[in-house]
Amino acid sequence: MGLTRCSSHYKQHCSVEMEVVEAPLTESRMAARVAGRRGAARHHVLLIVSLFSFTLLYIASRVDWSSIQACPPGDRGTVDKDIKGFEKASSPTIDTQEDKLLGGLLSSDFDEQSCVSRYQSTLYRNASPFLPSSYLVARLRAYESLHKRCGPDTPLYKKSIAQLQSNRSVGNLECNYMVWTPYNGMGNRMLTIVSAFLYALLTDRVLLIQVTGESVDLFCEPFPGTSWVLPSDFPIKDMSSNHRNSPMTYGNMIKNKVINLSADTSTEWVPSYVYVYLVDDYKHFDGHFFCEDDQLFLNKVNWIVQQSDIYFVPSFFLWTQYRDELQQLFPAKDAVFHHLGRYLFHPTNSIWGLVTRYYDSYLAQAKERIGLQIRTFDWPYISFEEFYKQIILCSMEEELLPVITDEERLPLSKSRNVVRPKAVLVVSLYGRYYEMIKSMYYEYPTANGEVISVDQPTHEEKQRTEQNGHNQKALAEIYLLSLVDVLVTSPFSTFGYVSQGLGGLKPWILLPPWHEKAPDPPCRRALSMEPCFLDPFYFDCRAKKNVDPVSLERYIRHCEDKVQAIKLVD
């Protein structure tokens, strides 16, 4: 049958042959490119390169991150009826900073003090050019009603739990569920929550999330009058284990012929729950989740438990049964995560305090805010020097940051005028990139006279997803990046994907290295603000052959940072 999907986030091989050739970026080419685009002298760039020889010490974080305070924490016919009622009252307004409900996206049925970020984010973030459709607003209000009827501790939830323990699904339950389980880092988790929620919205399920020790006190409840947190007494006890080899994983059920999709649907056995395994190493049979015929079967399962670390929303746009629904929900296809992320994710008061204190101290007075999201992976490998060179070249060639000069042009007047600087926000696990950029603008003046301030909230040096404090800082930094005016992100980084989606930003994406060298060009402007689906399913289940998803839907294109991956583009 051959290879049916790209095998990992970073390895560039796939059954569909595609290749992007990027030339290595030498120092001479680096100087020539900046000189050609900006008219800068070659020695300006060589000054940057010479900074590689400096030995700099790390400094401690300039923000006190320890100041943390706790935050108080159907069926289709019913949903359609709810929508008709809400649509008449739905009239999204212009999404200005004064519009705290984001054009009707958010419900007004919350106590503002319990979650300040929910209605205060518009005071910090640029106004969004994307209005939610009236249909999306109506569907969200209808979903909230469904969740309130079926949420934890309700009679309908208890009835569904009893059905879960019977080991067989039935077709007459009012409440069916999508259970999200945490996997991998903060960016991965937020992408998969949005994926799970949209799936729940399309299939009339109720989304419940498992909150473990490392993820407490991160988000406020998104649905009024109820909770999205899975109760601790949930009867399935192996939720946090790897589901790839579980007999209850949907792919294994298909592979082992426990489920027969061609059987008589009136008599076939439907399990009370299944695991859906969509981690980046998922196999061919796991990928059957993306087949429309399999979705017809999964719609009969009362409980679906998801384990994933990838943003699989683009696959929904390949399903014909939801095409009209998605068109009404998202007239602008590249705003799916933007709308759903802003709807679902509201940092608790403790984390919002980290965000606002840092913003007010280092970003609020700037004339422009530039975010540099810097993440490296073991593969493909690039040295610190090469990656730093790539970051600087991208920033200067695209006129995001000014070039430097060795010619001082100090003002002759003794009077001092206050100059609003450009503020550079560096978000990285490592402190060395921040030190180099800060030293460059401290030791050399800019050619155009601009003042540059450079700051970094933290440099943890290592990802510690198992620690709650680490995740709280990561979430705060994701939100800080979403508040900038201009964003540069690293390739393959889910952290960057979430930041750009929340902020409504089309970032400049640093391209993967070429034979361990910085590529030429060093970066590319994103086609849309949508996150990338890094590991799509390259198989047409009905035709029984490999197929490029881009050939099936005009709203889907290959990603800038991984040629075999896909994303939504309007």
Q: What is the DSSP string of 315-371?
A: GGGG-GGGHHHHHHH-SSGGGHHHHHHHHH--B-HHHHHHHHHHIIIIITT-SEEEE
Query: Quick one: which of 499, 402, 494 has its CA closest to 451?
Result: 402
DSSP string spanning 490-532? -TT-HHHHHHHHHHT--PEEEPPPBTTB-EES-EEE-S-SSPP
Run of H or E including 208: strand 206-209
* pTM of the full structure: 0.86
Run of H or E including 23: strand 23-24
Cβ(141)–Cβ(86) under 8 Å? yes
Place of tokens 């070429």: 514
Query: Quick one: which of 305, 327, 16 has its CA closest to 176?
Result: 305
Query: Quick one: which of 153, 145, 199 has its CA closest to 177?
Result: 199
Taking the C-alpha atoms of residue 195 and residue 201, their distance in angstroms, rounded to an integer, is 10
CA distances from 462 to 166, 230, 379, 457, 476 (A): 44, 30, 16, 15, 17
Phi, psi of 103 (to 5 degrees): 70, 30
Place of tokens 């949420």: 151
Q: What is the DSSP letter of 121?
A: G
Answer whether the bond into residue 380 is a cis peptide, omega within 30°: yes
Cβ(483)–Cβ(363) under 8 Å? yes
Place of tokens 């406020």: 220
Q: Count of CB atoms within 10 A of residue 180's CB?
A: 25
Strand 422-428 to 368-374 pairing: parallel
Cβ(298)–Cβ(289) under 8 Å? yes
Query: Quick one: which of 387, 518, 535 has its CA closest to 12?
Result: 535
- Sequence spans of domains, the chain: 24-53+350-408+419-523, 86-348
Give me the helices (H) in 39-154, please: 42-50, 76-89, 116-120, 134-150
Q: What are 217's two structure tokens?
A: 């006190």
Taking the C-alpha atoms of residue 336 and residue 313, their distance in angstroms, rounded to an integer, is 8
Q: What are 502's two structure tokens?
A: 């929340």
Q: Which residues contact 482 (CB under 8 A, 6 or more apart)?
A: 125, 498, 499, 500, 502, 503, 505
Q: Which CATH topology does 24-53+350-408+419-523 take? A: Rossmann fold (3.40.50)
Cβ(493)–Cβ(187) under 8 Å? yes
Cβ(132)–Cβ(166) under 8 Å? no
In sequence order, the β-bridge partners of residue 206 are 177
Per-residue pLDDT of the chain (570 residues; tens, 9 = 90+): 343 444 443 333 343 333 343 555 554 455 455 555 544 433 444 445 444 433 333 333 333 333 333 333 334 444 454 444 444 333 333 444 348 899 999 999 999 999 999 999 999 998 898 999 999 999 999 999 999 999 999 999 999 999 998 888 887 789 999 999 999 999 999 999 999 999 999 999 999 999 988 888 999 999 999 999 999 999 998 776 778 889 999 999 999 998 877 655 555 789 999 999 999 999 999 999 999 999 999 999 999 999 999 999 999 999 999 999 999 999 999 999 999 999 999 999 999 999 999 999 999 999 999 999 999 888 888 999 999 999 999 999 999 999 999 887 766 666 666 778 999 999 999 999 999 999 999 999 999 989 999 999 988 777 787 788 889 999 999 999 999 999 999 999 999 999 999 999 999 999 999 989 999 999 999 999 999 999 999 999 888 899 999 999 999 999 999 999 999 998
